[in-house]
Structure 1
Amino acid sequence: MKKNLLIIGAGGVAHVAAHKAAMYNDELGDICIASRTLSKCEGIIESIQRKGHLKDPAKRLYARQINALDIPATVDLIKETQSEIVINLGQAFLNMSVLEACLETGAAYIDTAIHEEPDKVCENPPWYANYEWKRKDRCMEKGITAILGAGFDPGVVNAYCALAVKHHFDKIETIDILDVNAGRHGKYFATNFDPEINFREFIKVWTWIDRRWKEYPTHTVKRVWEFPVVGQQPIYLNGHDELHSLSKNIDADSIRFWMGFGDHYINVFTVLRTLGFLSHLPVKLANGQEVVPLKVTKALLPDPMTLAPNYTGKTCIGNIVKGWKDGKRRELFIYQVSDHKACYEEVESQAISYTAGVPPVAAARLIANGAWDVKTMVNVEELDPDPFIALLDQMGLPTDYKEIEPDSPASFNGTVRDLETEIAESTVTVTVSAADPMIAVRPKQSP
């Protein structure tokens, strides 16, 4: 049994994770929240206390300041706090540093995203092989549990793949992971999580089709599909973390990831990218000073944490799996719907952070009770999905299922056609007014 939890990071996802961990501190023990900015950690603690979420008041809930790129300092913090489980919810640039600290101390490691280097974006697949997987043998030799990508996507959607294999299909043909946010935050333009990490995802598309990697331009393959609860939504083919491990661990002909974007987002993103404001590489100003355009753009956009109080609407994330069961064709949508307002009422967060912040705490509980304390490095789809899904059902992320008649109008067609056709059908139409910029984001009036 492992106890005492260290949460590294103090953004929106860490905020949710800390709330959920506090609700189960009788299982997890003491909880330390650590980040470069101590006041943010203290703000999370105040939120937990305000909502009365500390289940066992005899257990400690406290904050520390840390630069998690400093491996010796992180080692010292793990030892000082006697933390046996570390959830890394800082920026993806920290993954290798925090993992190294866990390797040195013996603490279990959990993260929610693939490692990134500041000067590299959308690395060639399988991306995990560049960083995390190189340390798998060391985890095994030292008996250290490291669970990679244990958020929602990656994370829960990986478990949905394992669930499909274990219970619902004898043979899988295709998996399409769909992620839609049908909510409204009331800002002209904002990202739902760290803008820097958000924009770095959309440089190019690596996807797994016909059992090999294929590359496409960003936002050029579009589909419109009728989702449960949130209705008809536009989605675009994208690359994403989970594809890099699922292509290795799940036997399927094609595994694709689709994300929802409205016309307004596509328009603003395209302008920013075309003008160079999304570049992750430094540029030199006339006075000789160097700046990174993407970091400047991030500084100008709203902090995702500030979106939560006024957010309305719902998210829908899940997997459409096609294949065969008992000799018959089957198409099944395994999915989860979250409500922004309900998330705020519960933990003072919006649903994007909520869906990413709850799963790593469920993973920590499974490590603590031994069910997922596998003493090696794994991606989520390599683990038994049943206890994970059962905990998520209890913790605010219940899973739903929708049977779809194969090849019916309700079926999802993720087959990518020739690029000329896809580009022609992916164009967007936007409404712009220089005198009233918010006209672009106001709901359209019915005729």
Structure 2
Amino acid sequence: MKRNVLIIGAGGVAQVVAHKCAQNNAVLGDIHIASRTLAKCHAIIDSVHAKGSMQTKGVLQAHALDALDVEATKFLIRATHSQIVINVGSPFVNMSVLQACIDTGAAYMDTAIHEDPLKVCETPPWYANYEWKRREACKAAGVTAILGIGFDPGVVNAYARYAIDHHFDQVDSIDIIDINAGSHGRYFATNFDPETNFREFTSTVWSWENNAWKANQMFEHRKDWDMPVTGVSTTYLTGHDELHSMSQHLGVPNIRFWMGFGEHYINVFNVLKNLGLLSEQPVRTARGQEVVPLEVVKAVLPDPASLAPAYTGKTCIGDLVKGTKDGQPAEVLIYNVCDHEASYHEVGSQAISYTAGVPPVAAALLIAEGVWDVGGMVNVEELDPAPLIAQMNRMGLVTRIRHAAGDNVLDPVCPVAASLGDDRQGELKYG
């Protein structure tokens, strides 16, 4: 059994991770939070104590760390006796933290694909450029490394795996749909790190169609979806992390990612892009200072964590899977609905952070208990999804399934859940 968790990063997702680890510290043990900005770590610790999130008395400590420094990261892992590392920092640090885990034997998790600061939206399969190159090193060291265990990527990968295993003889398409029907009340803001957010959308959009990669432009393909709770929303075909692994592991000919955008977001985004303010390449000002336009934009936009107190509305994220079962056409939607206000009340973060932060802690519990401690590198769709879905249900991130028989809570462990209706959404309790 593995114990003691090191959380790397101190943003909105890290805050959720810290609260959820604290709520389960009887199993997970000591909790350590590390970031370049020590004050942010202390603010998260204050939040955990203010909300009374600690399940039992235990260690909750902050540390200053430059996670690009492999030796410093190794030292901290060993000094804190951490056997599980949850990396929710910038995607630029993935490979450094992963190497530190390989060298120390700690289990590794992240929530996004690695990025090179000088490259944007790399050609597929992106994972092959970075993380997958260390598969053999993880295997040789017996290190469990679970890649992309946020919501998307992460939970949507598990949803796809579950649908394929339990509802179809053959799957023809998976459409991942990400809708945020909430409102934060600001003129313009991003729901997570602006630098990461904008880099996703400034270059080629890759989708998996007819068993091949297809290149598109951002906002080139639009589609309206009628989703549970959030209703009809406009989305655009977007490239995303999970496509790079799911396309290689699931044997499904069409896998696409659709994200909801309002007209205001698109207008502001296009102005920033057309002015060159979303460039990751440095420019020199009239005063001779060298600046990166994208970093300047990030500096003037609201901190995503600051949006939480005023955020209202809900998110709906899920997989619409189509194929055949017993020779007949079949379709299922496996999804989650998350409430911004409820998320803030529980952990002080908005729903975007909540949906990304709960899954890695659920996975940490599965690693601690040996269920997902596989001793090698995997993407989420390579693992049995049932324990993850059941664990998230227990932790407040409830999965539902809509199919021909109706719309109900999906719990692969507790059969009675299948009979519960919409009036019990998000309210499963376990003894």
TM-score range, shorter chain: over 0.9
Give the aligned partner of residue 155 of structure 1. Answer: 154
Give the aligned partner of residue 324 of structure 2. Answer: 324
Q: Is 2:227 aligned against 1:253?
A: no
Q: Give distance in 2, aligned partners of 1:170 and 1:56.
A: 46
The one-letter code of the counterpart of 2:357 is G
Q: Stretches of 4+ moved more than 2 A in 1?
A: none
After TM superposition, the score normalised by the length of structure 2 is 0.93
The one-letter code of the counterpart of 1:16 is V
Give the aligned partner of residue 291 of structure 2. Answer: 291
Give the aligned partner of residue 389 of structure 1. Answer: 389
The one-letter code of the counterpart of 1:320 is L
Identity of aligned residues (%): 63
Give the aligned partner of residue 427 of structure 1. Answer: none
| Residues 392-403 of structure 1: pairs in structure 2 closer than 5 A | 392-403=392-403
Name the SS of the counterpart of 1:179 in structure 2: strand
After TM superposition, the score normalised by the length of structure 1 is 0.90
Q: Give distance in 1, aligned partners of 2:106 and 2:56.
A: 23
Give the aligned partner of residue 134 of structure 1. Answer: 133
Give the aligned partner of residue 114 of structure 1. Answer: 113
Name the SS of the counterpart of 1:172 in structure 2: strand
The one-letter code of the counterpart of 2:85 is V
Q: Is the 8 A contact 1:322 1:329 kept in 2?
A: yes
Deviation at 1:369, TM superposition (A): 0.2
Q: Is the 8 A contact 1:87 1:111 kept in 2?
A: yes
Deviation at 1:328, TM superposition (A): 1.3
Name the SS of the counterpart of 1:174 in structure 2: strand
Name the SS of the counterpart of 1:223 in structure 2: strand
Deviation at 1:325, TM superposition (A): 1.2
Give the aligned partner of residue 77 of structure 1. Answer: 76
Give the aligned partner of residue 88 of structure 1. Answer: 87
Name the SS of the counterpart of 1:125 in structure 2: coil
Q: Is the 8 A contact 1:279 1:294 kept in 2?
A: yes
The one-letter code of the counterpart of 1:147 is I
Q: Is the 8 A contact 1:10 1:44 kept in 2?
A: yes
| Residues 350-369 of structure 1: pairs in structure 2 closer than 5 A | 350-369=350-369
The one-letter code of the counterpart of 2:139 is M
Deviation at 1:288, TM superposition (A): 2.3
| Residues 191-206 of structure 1: pairs in structure 2 closer than 5 A | 191-203=190-202, 204-206=204-206
Deviation at 1:290, TM superposition (A): 1.1
Q: Give distance in 2, aligned partners of 1:396 and 1:282.
A: 43
Q: Give distance in 1, aligned partners of 2:47 and 2:236.
A: 36
Give the aligned partner of residue 29 of structure 1. Answer: 29
Name the SS of the counterpart of 1:49 in structure 2: helix
Q: Is 2:145 aligned against 1:175?
A: no
Q: Is 2:31 aligned against 1:18?
A: no
Give the aligned partner of residue 266 of structure 2. Answer: 266
Give the aligned partner of residue 53 of structure 1. Answer: 53
Deviation at 1:166, TM superposition (A): 1.4
Q: Give distance in 1, aligned partners of 2:270 and 2:129.
A: 29
Structure 1: 5+ residue runs without aligned partners? Answer: 406-447
Query: Number of residue pairs matched?
Result: 404
Q: Give distance in 1, aligned partners of 2:135 and 2:169.
A: 30
Deviation at 1:404, TM superposition (A): 6.0
Q: Is 2:239 aligned against 1:221?
A: no
Deviation at 1:287, TM superposition (A): 2.5
Name the SS of the counterpart of 1:201 in structure 2: helix
Name the SS of the counterpart of 1:218 in structure 2: coil
Q: Give distance in 1, aligned partners of 2:50 and 2:404.
A: 44
The one-letter code of the counterpart of 2:193 is D
Q: Is the 8 A contact 1:333 1:404 kept in 2?
A: no
Q: Deviations over 1:178-228 (max 9, x none)?
A: 001000000000000000000000022011000000100001100112111
Deviation at 1:400, TM superposition (A): 0.8
Structure 2: 5+ residue runs without aligned partners? Answer: 406-431
